[in-house]
Amino acid sequence: MTANSRCSAAEPPGLETQRREIESLLRECELRAGDSWYVMERRWYEQWKEFVETGDQNSSSFPGQINNAELFEDLDSFHLKERLVENEDFMLVPADAWHRLLGWYGAVEGQPALERKVVDLPSTLKVEVYPVEIFLCLHSNMVNVITAQFSRTDSILSIQRAMCDAFTVPPGSECRLWMKSSDSSCERLRNVHVSVLDACLSSAMTVIMETRNADGTWPSSRPQIMRNSLEDQDSYRGQPGVCGLTNLGNTCFMNSALQCLSNTPPLTEYFLLSSYLEELNFTNPLGMKGEIAEAYADVIKQMWSGRHYSVVPRVFKTKVGHFASQFLGYQQHDSQELLSFLLDGLHEDLNRVKNKEYIELRDAEGRPDQEVAEEAWRNHRRRNDSVIVDTFHGLFKSTLVCPECHKVSVTFDPFCYLSVPLPVSKERVMEVFFVSLDPHAKPAQHRVVVPKAGTVLDLCAALSEMTAVPSTQMVVADVFNHRFYKIYNSDECLSCILDRDDIFVYELSVLEQQQEVWEEEVLLALYLRERSHYRDYGSGSSSYGTSLFGHPLLLRVPRGRCSREELYTLFLQRLARYVRPPDPSEELEEEEEEEEEEEEEELYQSQTNGISDEEQEDSEKAEPSRTQRCCGDSSANSQSDETAGNHTSPTLVDGDTEPNRPTEPVATNTSSTSSTDVVNPCGDAIGSTQPLAEQPHPPSDTTEEEEEEEDKQEEACSPSPPANEQPAKRKACCSRRRSLFTIQAVNSNGTTERGTGEGGSAVSFSSQPYVAIDWDPDMKKRFYNENEAEKYVKHGSMEVPQQQTTVQLQECIELFTTVETLEEENPWYCPVCKKHQLATKKLDLWSLPEVLIIHLKRFSYTKFTREKLDSIVDFPLRDLDFSGSLLRKSLTNGEPPSRYDLIAVSNHYGGLRDGHYTSYARNKDNGQWYYFDDSKVTFAQEDQIVTNAAYVLFYHRQDQIRKPTLPPPTLSPAAANDITSCKEEEAELAAASSSVTMETD
């Protein structure tokens, strides 16, 4: 072959020149990441080398065209053979050398140039002879798979572009890629700007591309949408943005915040135009690797597709919980706290500043405010530059003054929202029930005004003015579930009483003075319990349960009048309004057989859990005998709601004998207390010093059957006597008559605890005694009037309408800019005094953003109070003018005006512990206001928006508001109700809970 047959190659220089140029390039060219090198068959290169060294143009060693045929597996696919070895099978030449050789000799027609990139692998640079070979397919058609090779230095974006070209994806379609590493899992390729190497793509892996659906969803997560019916999936067409959000379980706070942001025009348009894709920041250590921004974008695009009644934001909720653990689970949270996190997360995910520089902040040091403000804003933008900063960030001036040296420190700080305080009243209105000492008077509901920082004594004093009852004769209690949740001391703060608590104020009796000595007294808490009987013969045990009912009472009882009979009479008197005393002609006798009576002796055992009292035969037999009955417990088997201890409170004394009761003394165990010892519901076992026969007799108006029943009740709270005493005891029981109820010492929960003492050791009560009167169901039905017991009257104070406090939004803004003194927990370090000082602080507004978020601080937390302020804040829907609130009065250089229109409101209904969030928002396309309540959306009128539930306000600056592009909808009576009713919510939620395998991001 001669030189004349060299295809289209250019006329080469002399052979010596060729040799010098190529050898120079091979010797001097170094590997640099990203440079191109070419693979050349070694035999051709060696023949060329021999040719140029002969110096004869007509030599028979002429190499001819560059031919790499020996490097390919076949000449159809030109696939490179595996395991080729450098310098044995091929040579690597730099791009310049390749292009010169190609120009001089040409290449065999049809053979591709084997260009390879230099890749920067860990600790080394090398030419990538074997690039990554990847399978490519579409999510919609995974059967059609193509193969392509990419360098490890190629970006994921280059793969996306290659796939768009190969599969003829329409221009402008939003795509995302998945890397399939196995048969069962896929991983999102989020950052399209990273290299194939950094994305961990290797040969034989599959890359799947999906394009966003017209309804804003992705094919891989389409089940995450809730629709009215399956037939509506492709037919529904609604107003974009008018879309509900499904409550996933206490997520109304999230839905409210999302609806407000969704109706913020500049932010929503930014996401709808997919501008965020070019600004996702995957390397920001303060961000969430773009995941929050992408999850938020998905929700917005679905809501504004106009094809959904309601969207299930499950993926978004999961992402929020992943990056902010306080939002994990399904507890209720604050919509403003979520809003703060979301705006900060979106800012960091979309921050255009990839590498934040360190900037040392300077104090004003007497410089003009304009100069300091511009410097502060410039420094802020050097580290923070995103659509969030463009839309929501403003600047305020902070002035601190040291109280000692009067050093003035001025700084300008950015803000994303304004948290403005509400004027706090120093008084509060409380509703309480007053229970008079008159047993025939119904409880009266009063409305009183008391100091917020006051005490229980202030409440009693205010009620005393209405009832003419001295405050010293009142005791305040919180009643919950038929028991006393708490009995308050007079010096306790009212802040611990919530508005929803049921507060009862009881009038106490005035004790008579006897022999110039005040008799010791006790405050007795009285519960009402209904007893039920059942027997379990299979287990060989019998038990009974009790349940609380009605309203408890508080009584002041003299210590010496705590005998069972006197308490029984006292309780009947206090319950006279709704407890009918038995008529003498009515039969209350027991008709049970002797055998049943023996079993009944074992029935009333001590109660341990408030539901049932388990029999403890063995423990009863092990305990010493008792001959005296008590209406609640014995000294060896007393119940306590707190720890045991000695107290001087009076006892439930049963030292009085009744007719037909044996009066002869009975031998007792010397290790126990006296045979006449009884248990005090307040604490101590008291020994009677007079014989039983000498103790006074109560009025003899009971029958033998009633006494028998009373003895049975006594056995429920005292140890059984020894076996040799049982017959006598049983004989006494047979001659008794039933009472309306029995009296039992209990703990504060209204349950009877099992005694633990042995050998007569007493288990004492706490200083606050509690007793319960136990009713048999039949007796309760006959003598207890439930309807009458629940009745109450309303005092005239309840008829006076409560005036709803109304404040102007401007007042709240003025409070925000009022001088305040720093709290002790947050002092300021004075650089002059060289110590922390409680300086005075003043905030002033300097510049305002395009969208201004105003957070009304309705939840007030101080050292003394915790409350939600339900004042109505009167905020304007249009023309909110901040010109008078801005520190900078004159606008220069075309600065925007300071007039705003309302676009959204987040509402909170309820109190401190619970509540519900909704939102009002104005649609940017048609200008119509809507009310968003989770998945339900209704039309709203402007006069409905200002309420005492308004919590977070969104204002849009007037110069940036664009006119609606659509006419407002015509409101028909039917359409004015529910726009997005969900007919088959359960079926769709079931579909929403299942996601395809690809949704693993």
**Which pLDDT score is estimated for 228?**
39
pLDDT at 218: 84
Beta-strand runs (E) in 404-520 = 408-415, 418-421, 427-435, 444-451, 474-480, 483-487, 503-507
**pLDDT for residue 875:** 94
End-to-end, the C-alpha distance of the chain in Å comes to: 62
Confidence at residue 337, expressed as pLDDT on a 0 to 100 scale: 93
CB-based contacts of 572: which residues, under 8 Å, 6+ apart? 579, 581, 740
Burial zone of 715 (CB within 10 Å; 0-12 exposed, 13-18 middle, 19+ buried): buried
Q: Which helix (H) or strand (E) holds 311?
A: strand 310-311
The mean predicted confidence, pLDDT, of the chain is 77
Query: pLDDT tens digits for 387-408?
Result: 999 999 999 999 999 998 988 8
Q: Is the pLDDT of residue 267 over 70?
A: yes
Query: How confident is the model at residue 637, as a pLDDT?
Result: 36
pLDDT for residue 269:
95
- Per-residue pLDDT, 696: 38
User: Is there a catalytic annotation at residue 551?
Assistant: no
99, 322, 380, 916: the catalytic one is: 916
Residue of 252, 562, 812, 830 marked active site: 252
Is the pLDDT at 652 greater than 80? The verdict is no
Q: How far is CA 649 from CA 489, 515, 680, 767, 768, in A?
A: 18, 21, 7, 7, 9
Tell me: pLDDT of 461 over 90. yes
Per-residue model confidence as pLDDT tens digits over 184-197: 678 888 888 888 88
Where does the pLDDT of residue 7 fall: very low under 50, low under 70, confident under 90, or very high at 90 and above? Answer: very low
pLDDT in tens, 818-835: 888 888 888 889 888 888
Whether the predicted pLDDT of 645 surpasses 60: no
Q: How confident is the model at residue 511 (pLDDT cuts 50, 70, 90)?
A: low
Band of pLDDT at residue 740, cut at 50, 70 and 90: confident
Q: Is the pLDDT of residue 30 over 60?
A: yes
Lowest mean pLDDT, pick from 127-141, 212-226, 408-422, 699-713: 699-713
The percent of residues in the chain predicted with pLDDT above 90, rounded, is 31
Name the E strands within 592-687: 678-679, 685-686
User: Confidence class of residue 93 from pLDDT cuts 50, 70 and 90?
Assistant: very high
* Predicted local distance difference test score (pLDDT) of residue 519: 64
> 102-133 burial by CB neighbour count: b if 16+ within 10 A, else e?
bebbbbeeebeebebbbbbeeeeebbbeebbe
Q: What value does the mean pLDDT take over residues 861-888?
A: 82
Look up residue 435 and give its amino acid.
Answer: V
Active site residue 830: no
* Residue 721, pLDDT score: 41
Higher pLDDT, 826 or 901: 901
Burial (Cβ within 10 Å: 0-12, 13-18, ≥19) of residue 468:
exposed
- Please write the tens of the pLDDT for every residue from 302-357: 999 888 889 999 989 989 998 988 898 888 899 999 999 999 999 999 999 988 88
pLDDT for 945-954, tens place per residue?
A: 999 999 999 9
Amino acid 242: pLDDT: 94
Residue 90 has pLDDT above 80, yes or no: yes
Is the pLDDT confidence value at 608 over 50? no
Question: Closest by alpha carbon to 711, among 653, 655, 627, 770?
Answer: 627
673, 623 in Cβ contact below 8 A? no
The answer to whether residue 216 scores a pLDDT higher than 70 is yes
The pLDDT score that the predictor gives to residue 951 is 95
| Least confident span in 33-37, 351-355, 388-392, 916-920 | 33-37
Q: What percent of the chain has pLDDT over 70?
A: 74
What's the rounded mean pLDDT across residues 982-998? 40
Angstrom distance (rounded) from CA 568 to CA 562: 9
Q: What is the mean pLDDT of residues 977-989?
A: 48
Q: Which residues pair with 794 in a beta bridge?
A: 445
* SS3 state at 356: coil
Question: Which candidate, 563, 556, 456, 572, places its Cα nearest to that of 512?
Answer: 556
- pLDDT confidence band for 753 (50 / 70 / 90): low
